[in-house]
Chain A
Amino acid sequence: MPIVTGKSQRWRIWAAHAGLWLLLAITLFPLLAVISISLRPGNFSTGSLIPTTISFEHWQLALGFPYTQPDGTVVQPPFPVLLWLWNSLKIATISALLIVAISTTAAYAFARLRFAHKTSILNGMLLLQMFPVAVALVAIYAIFEGIGSVVPWLGIETHAGLIVAYLGGVAMHIWTIKGYFETIPTEIEENAKVDGASHWQAFRLVLLPMAVPILMVVFVLAFIGTIIEYPVASILLREENNLTLAVGSKQYLQDQKFLWGDFAAAAVLSGLPITLVFLAAQRWIVSGLTAGGVKG
């Protein structure tokens, strides 16, 4: 912009930089502190923030190896972090795949097919999604107790049950995929139909291959959404070996048993990959946020 700058400009830039640095310090403090704490020996020492001696005891415990202290006592890993991570990854991958499958077919119907009450169904779904799951926990618990009394592998304390419970959150993803489908010209599928393809074939063999990028995006979004989900997982899973990371991590910081250093290592170990995936997918997440929010 060809705007004439005044004399105070330079001072204001300095002030802005100083303010931003201060804010950055506050913002990044917890994240840097937790890395430092994970490398600090012991669970209780409140010494300097930059560790003077580096110890990998918490990392060893987080990775599931027992740690031998200098005085010879052996500390066993307090919680099966890697097992929790595996549970989380397993549940998130399977539910994200199913969510992609379900939302893709539904988005196809919304984008391409004609049926009665199309707009009201879509709006209704978006409206329903505004109700937080945390409010209906009692009912979800009762539902899975009911299912579990007949089909035990789908009830409470099962991963399959949790995966099924996550399949309700598809409205936003349907919206995203539908928007993408609408940018693809219909003529391509119509040509395929002229050549004798059925609806299903036109969808699966013609449209889907062109939509792979958006499907990957939705997969990542659903994956992250599932991996950080806490309320439903916390009522459906209770046994220690069954927990997901989001539910299990809480157990490190109980008042009676405050494993601060062990938690820090586990937090960095599990949080870093998720953060990196999130940053990589940031662009789509942000555009989804704005679009979704405005559309309601």
Chain B
Amino acid sequence: MRAGSSPWFKWPLIGAVMLALLWLVTGVYAAGQPVVAVALLAFGGLALYTYGSARTLAWRYLFPGVAGMLVFVAFPLLYTMQIGFTNYSASNLLGEERARAYLLDQHTVDEDQSFGYTLHAEGQAWRLLLTPPEGAAEAGRYVSPPLTLGRGNGAALPMSAAPAGSPALGEPLPLREVLRHRDALMALALALPDGRTLRYTGVREFGTMEPLWKAGANGSLLRVASGAEYRPNPDTGFFENAAAERVQPGFKVGIGWANYSRMLFDADVRGPFISIFVWTVTFALLSVVFSTALGMTLAVVLNWEALKYRTLYRTLLFLPYAVPGFISILVFKGLFNQNFGEINAILDALFGVRPAWFADPLLAKTMILIVNTWLGYPYIMVLCTGLIKAIPADLYEASAIAGAGPLTNFFKITLPLIVRPLTPLLISAFAFNFNNFVLISLLTDGRPDYLNTKLPAGTTDILVSYTYRIAFTDAGANFGLAAAISTLIFFMVALMSLANLKLARVNDSSKG
């Protein structure tokens, strides 16, 4: 970093970092994350260039910040778009190579050929005695040479037929003690004199294990039992036989626009998707309208010099913004609880009603709007206070001379003057609420749910919480579909941001 560090120090260091980077990249690539690996390689390379080259002074200061943003903000956006075109989900989690390796590692246990076993101490070592199950075709018992448990050496232990009386062995170890050696036992392979190999198959058993699959030609898999061939299908992401029967798990492949067409044409997804979209817009719009109405009124009233204790009011009314959101939202969740909540206790005492805030869709939406207005008005109040302070006082003096009342003042002077600088901020507030995941997730979790939908969807879910649900909470973990919906949200956010920038620029230029 500092100028003039000696080349004897610099170049070996760069070499070492380069090696570490390559090791990391190969590791990530081998772990089945090629996109992440390429991104890592690009960033590592850029970092090396930035701190190695002499011509990149400014970027040495910029790099950590810009890299942080690119890696954890920009890259996730692009990566989400890419995932939206794949079938990435709980059943298609791994790459093709790793899915194949996983399947090839599957075994079946042949129940007819399993032996019971007992463990016998012999000095410091142990002997294993295999006993065929009662009524099995096997007759003979087998005994192992003395072995030390815990030091697996991979080679199969030769077992020998045990004489009928087996006098040489001591008392068998109780099961509890045997369980302590489970890991060592699992590593054992026992070779019987007739050539069979036995492995640990259960707490009380050793048995033969047959692989379920064999690798076939062209990356296909052969089922050992039937010999049927299952070929990897790059369109569906599953190993399939001629009758298109699939093997779980599948693997991750690109499926083009399928997630998007599901959103538009699959009735099971489209129905809830459209209602959720409508509610998202309604929710964001009404939240902004209510908090603006309340916040602006308060700002105007608290700007009235004849009013005493204004600072005290302002501080207390600002409190909802200062309390951490995750706490106040959960507090409301408790207060609104139908049976134990204080709000229903008060309503019950006053009017004798106990509304089901969390079970009725309309009430749940009302509750969300009430809570969000409570959370949101202080922000607008603070913004408006600042903007109103900038209005020259002589305008109000002139209007007072003309005999105007407070309402005329507000609609003819205050509002027209603050509406322009306020608009971009309100658009930001709209965009924020459009994606107000924390509120929905903590307050209702999207519930109450729609009935009769294939993918669970809630009546109070907004788009972001719906994608979270699809991806992280419900069975199936359909990351691909969730990412496709997220991509749609990006474009909407981008549109709002552009509108915002444009308005802000108009404001700046009008200021001179």
Residues on A facing B (Cβ under 8 Å):
1-5, 9, 12-13, 16-17, 19-20, 23-24, 26-28, 30-31, 33-34, 37, 43-44, 46, 49, 101-103, 105-106, 108-110, 113-115, 121, 125, 127-143, 145-147, 149-151, 164-171, 174, 198-200, 203, 224, 227-228, 230-231, 234-235, 245-246, 249-250, 252-253, 258, 260, 263-264, 267, 270-271, 274-275, 278-279, 282, 286, 289-290, 293-296
Asked whether B424 lies within 8 Å of A246 as measured between CB atoms, the reply is: no
In angstroms, how far is the closest chain B Cβ from the Cβ of A197? 11
In angstroms, how far is the closest chain A Cβ from the Cβ of B80? 4
Asked whether B437 lies within 8 Å of A231 as measured between CB atoms, the reply is: yes
Select B330's contact among A135, A199, A263, beta carbons within 8 Å: A263
Asked whether B24 lies within 8 Å of A151 as measured between CB atoms, the reply is: yes
Asked whether B330 lies within 8 Å of A167 as measured between CB atoms, the reply is: no
Asked whether A246 lies within 8 Å of B464 as measured between CB atoms, the reply is: no
Q: A149-B33, A253-B330 are in contact. Are A28 and B383 (CB under 8 A)?
A: no
**For chain B residues 325-343, which have a beta carbon within 8 Å of chain A?**
325-328, 330-335, 337, 339-342
Interface pairs (9), CB distance under 8 Å: A3-B397, A28-B319, A150-B28, A166-B72, A253-B330, A260-B334, A271-B324, A278-B321, A289-B383
Residue of B nearest to A255 (CB): B358
Asked whether B301 lies within 8 Å of A16 as measured between CB atoms, the reply is: yes
CA of A115 to CA of B64, assembled, Å: 16
B130: interface (CB < 8 Å): no
Could you say which of A34, A169, A235 has the most chain B C-beta atoms within 10 Å of its C-beta?
Answer: A34
A-B pairs with the 9 shortest C-beta distances?
A168-B72, A106-B65, A146-B33, A136-B76, A150-B27, A149-B31, A109-B61, A139-B76, A146-B36
**For chain B residues 64-92, which have a beta carbon within 8 Å of chain A?**
64-66, 68-69, 71-77, 79-80, 83, 88
Asked whether B73 lies within 8 Å of A131 as measured between CB atoms, the reply is: yes
CA of A135 to CA of B434, assembled, Å: 11
Residue of B nearest to A244 (CB): B326
B393: interface (CB < 8 Å): yes
List residues of chain A with CB within 8 A of the CB of B334. 34, 37, 253, 258, 260, 263-264
B173: interface (CB < 8 Å): no
Asked whether B330 lies within 8 Å of A250 as measured between CB atoms, the reply is: yes
Asked whether B62 lies within 8 Å of A228 as measured between CB atoms, the reply is: no
CA of A48 to CA of B188, assembled, Å: 68
Asked whether B58 lies within 8 Å of A142 as measured between CB atoms, the reply is: no
Residue of A nearest to B435 (CB): A132
Residue of A nearest to B323 (CB): A275
Asked whether B83 lies within 8 Å of A142 as measured between CB atoms, the reply is: yes
Select A108's contact among B61, B80, B424, B482, beta carbons within 8 Å: B61
Could you say which of B4, B36, B59 has the most chain A C-beta atoms within 10 Å of its C-beta?
Answer: B36
List residues of chain A with CB within 8 A of the CB of B313. 20, 24
Asked whether A146 lies within 8 Å of B31 as measured between CB atoms, the reply is: yes
CA of A115 to CA of B432, assembled, Å: 33
Asked whether A249 lies within 8 Å of B326 as measured between CB atoms, the reply is: yes
Interface size on B, residues (CB 8 A): 105
Residue of A nearest to B62 (CB): A109
Could you say which of A2, A282, A286, A293 has the most chain B C-beta atoms within 10 Å of its C-beta?
Answer: A293
Q: Binary interface profile of B, 492-512, with partner A (CB < 8 Å = 1, else 0)?
A: 011001001100100100000
List residues of chain A with CB within 8 A of the CB of B467. 135, 137-138
**For chain B residues 146-202, which have a beta carbon within 8 Å of chain A?**
none
B51: interface (CB < 8 Å): no
List residues of chain B with CB within 8 A of the CB of A30. 328, 331-332, 335, 374
List residues of chain B with CB within 8 A of the CB of A27. 316-317, 319-320, 374
In angstroms, how far is the closest chain B Cβ from the Cβ of A145? 8
Q: A139-B83, A169-B73 are in contact. Are A130 and B493 (CB under 8 A)?
A: yes
List residues of chain B with CB within 8 A of the CB of A282. 318, 322
CA of A33 to CA of B72, assembled, Å: 39
Asked whether B421 lies within 8 Å of A138 as measured between CB atoms, the reply is: no
B134: interface (CB < 8 Å): no
In angstroms, how far is the closest chain B Cβ from the Cβ of A42? 10
Asked whether B471 lies within 8 Å of A137 as measured between CB atoms, the reply is: yes
